Structure 1
Amino acid sequence: MTDLSVEKISSTGPEAAAPTAPLIETKDLTRHFRVGRGFSGKMLHAVDDVNLTVDRQEIVALAGESGSGKSTIARLLAGVYRPTSGEIHYQGRALSSMRSRRDQLVYRGDVPMVFQDPFSSLNPAFRVSHGILRSLKLHRRDLTRAQRYDEAERVIEAVGLAPAADIMHRYPYELSGGQRQRIGFAQALAHKPKLILADEPVSMLDVSIRIGLLNLMAELRRSAGVSFLYITHDIASARYVADRLLIMYAGHIVESGPTEAVLANPKHPYTDLLLGAVPDPRAPLTVGNEGDTGEPPKVIDPTPGCRFRWRCPLVVDECHHVTPTLRRLGDGHDAACHVAQPDAGTAPTNP
């Protein structure tokens, strides 16, 4: 297995009383998109029957290759898409029951999103203060104009940009990519959020400045009590910052558990494939991954069975006919695989 030689970031922070319900929870969350012209009737299964939770002051990483459905989940949680079926519960309350504009504004203020591209997420025609002040006016109407400016300076300083008064009056083109992404976090932080949906926030940044954004996420969790759903295809960064790791493939969660447990003892062949794809800087440069064979996932009107079976080295006959579901294979460690074996002393159970 490739050595992910990066130190796990500390998760210590202010303790809070554990409530009975998770901060956010999905139950059989599903989103399909119609593809083709006219009445072709073909459906792309972007997300199927996903069950995940994020607790208070927790960083959960959702990892997988492009097209696996990670960003679709983020947009479902943000309210950009409506589920085809299933439900999202926020602090124990179903989102489908939040019909008033006030309830929806409160939820979107509590669960904002930081986008992948720092170069297009800010309007180049306005100063960087515009988005922050607009968010404050929309979501925190109790503040006066002067208080909004004070709060804008506070959140800009909170994300490590100073002097805040100078940064506020700059245009996006006057900031680096890392600074723009910090402004994205500042806009989210202005809402006083409980959960930030971070959709690959460091993937378009230079490697040398990614660590600063990951440290920022950990610091915001510690100082402001914010939880994160961190969407990434970078296993090393997930290990560095996340408490729990969810692995997604072709619309399904195929493995989940504490980050170190998943990476040290992967149960699903796809997780093993992802770990094998992490480059080792000490190894000679090679082209291709000989361990990855077979066809891409079939997500347009997929048939029953494991969606990884076309690429899996451990495929058995059952994989072609029965869709595996997550089952407990260790302490908090689940995998959706017919051939995965439980840890010693752990009886396999269905959730």
Structure 2
Amino acid sequence: MNEPTGSELLRTVDLTRHFKIGGGFSRHNLHAVDEVNLTINRREIVALVGESGSGKSTIARLLAQVYKPTSGEIRFEGKSLGALRGRKQQLAYRGEVPMVFQDPFASLNPAYRVDHGIMRGLKLHRTELSPAERRAEAARVVEAVGLNPAAEILQRYPYELSGGQRQRIGFAQALAYRPKLILADEPVSMLDVSIRIGLLNVMADLRESEGVSFLYITHDIASARYVCDRVMVMYGGHIVEAGPTEDVLQEPKHPYTQLLLSAVPDPRAPLTVDVDTVKAEPPKVVNPPAGCRFRDRCPLAEPICHEVTPKLTELAPGHETACHVAQRAAAGVAG
């Protein structure tokens, strides 16, 4: 029985990942992800937006079980991933939550035809299918991502495909596992602007036709507006703002979100931070002190921003922000 659209699919609880850096006796830790709480619902496309080094890809690799959390928990369909036991359960989860990588030129083995990876994945994750059924399913998923004729595409080598076609094959490989959530890590960033919209449309179409959810990781906030239901903005290992796409992009509460939007002029997105006034100071993520990690770049920073780490707080229905200044302003308006 299919679960209802909009019901919770995945949740993280205080998800944290630190990396030890330096020599064997070093006490330096890089805080890639700190106490992140996020949810992804069924048949939903959620964008995770932020600059390079903000922790976006680390979250994707935590959800894909490439990395283990330093602390915190990931719950999929209400069950903790920490409770998964044995190869069978691990394979089942990885089939339900596959990943599409950034580089379409490195994600396919150049020595094999396109059908090799899809057929191998089907044999591994869908053991109930016969060889003939696997061949039919491979053709179906290739057609589902807009590549025709499927029989011809499956027999090509990767070098015979364009970058956009290769990335579509990446989505087809993931789709072959009958996933519930696809982790798309910067899937269009290495493609020409002219073909990016096509890949975003593939995500939207798969959500409608296959019922799959997406975590769309990107630094391009404009593309998030085009395809996503909700946006989460990440900076220095923290989620600093989250909410429905139009709410976040039309009325950004956090100064960092406003800074991102200043690079994408849009009359629907009122801006209050002048990009020229923001100092280009990178966040301190190695043994970071308490306080907001955006404070050294923020023209609105106050003493409390250097002393207390702000928590995500709901300032409008479904719209959360981790900013002392924004929270105080909202409380003042409410009062």
> What's the TM-score, normalizing by structure 2?
0.94
Provide the residue aligned with 1:285 in structure 2.
Answer: none
Q: Residue 31 of structure 1: which of 14, 17, 24 is its match?
A: 17
Secondary structure in structure 2 of the residue aligned to 1:339: helix
Provide the residue aligned with 1:188 in structure 2.
Answer: 174
Are residues 1:89 and 2:75 paired? Answer: yes
Provide the residue aligned with 1:66 in structure 2.
Answer: 52
Give the Å deviation of 1:344: 8.8
Provide the residue aligned with 2:284 in structure 1.
Answer: 298
Provide the residue aligned with 1:284 in structure 2.
Answer: none
Gaps of 5+ in 1: 1-14, 281-287
Give the Å deviation of 1:103: 1.0
CA distance in 1, matches of 2:181, 2:311: 27
Give the Å deviation of 1:262: 0.4
**Residues 132, 152 of structure 1: 8 Å contact kept:** yes
**Residues 6, 43 of structure 2: 8 Å contact kept:** no
Residue 184 and residue 18 in structure 1: after superposition, are their counterparts in 2 closer, same or farther (change >3 A)?
closer
Q: Deviations over 1:83-110 (max 9, x none)?
A: 0000000000000001121111110000
Provide the residue aligned with 1:263 in structure 2.
Answer: 249
Give the Å deviation of 1:38: 2.5
CA distance in 1, matches of 2:334, 2:221: 26
5 Å-filtered alignment, 1:67-216, equals 67-216=53-202
Give the Å deviation of 1:345: 7.0
Are residues 1:47 and 2:33 paired? Answer: yes
Q: Deviations over 1:317-351 (max 9, x none)?
A: 0000100000010011000000003289757xxxx
Over the matched positions of the two proteins, sequence identity in percent amounts to 69
5 Å-filtered alignment, 1:332-347, equals 332-340=318-326, 341-342=329-330
Q: Deviations over 1:200-219 (max 9, x none)?
A: 10000000000000000000
Residue 132 and residue 313 in structure 1: after superposition, are their counterparts in 2 closer, same or farther (change >3 A)?
same
**Residues 330, 346 of structure 1: 8 Å contact kept:** no
Q: Deviations over 1:259-318 (max 9, x none)?
A: 0000110100000000012268xxxxxxx9513215110000000000000000100000
Provide the residue aligned with 1:11 in structure 2.
Answer: none
CA distance in 2, matches of 1:75, 1:346: 39
CA distance in 1, matches of 2:3, 2:285: 41
CA distance in 2, matches of 1:127, 1:198: 23
CA distance in 2, matches of 1:250, 1:125: 39
CA distance in 1, matches of 2:21, 2:27: 8
Gaps of 5+ in 2: 267-273
Please, what is the CA RMSD of the aligned residues?
1.7
Provide the residue aligned with 1:248 in structure 2.
Answer: 234
Length, aligned pairs only: 325
Q: Deviations over 1:15-67 (max 9, x none)?
A: 952586x1000000000001112211200000000000000000000000000
> What's the TM-score, normalizing by structure 1?
0.90
Paired AA for residue 97 in structure 1 = A
The runs of at least 4 consecutive aligned structure 1 residues that moved more than 4 Å come to 343-347
Paired AA for residue 130 in structure 1 = H
**Residues 25, 51 of structure 1: 8 Å contact kept:** yes
CA distance in 1, matches of 2:151, 2:277: 53
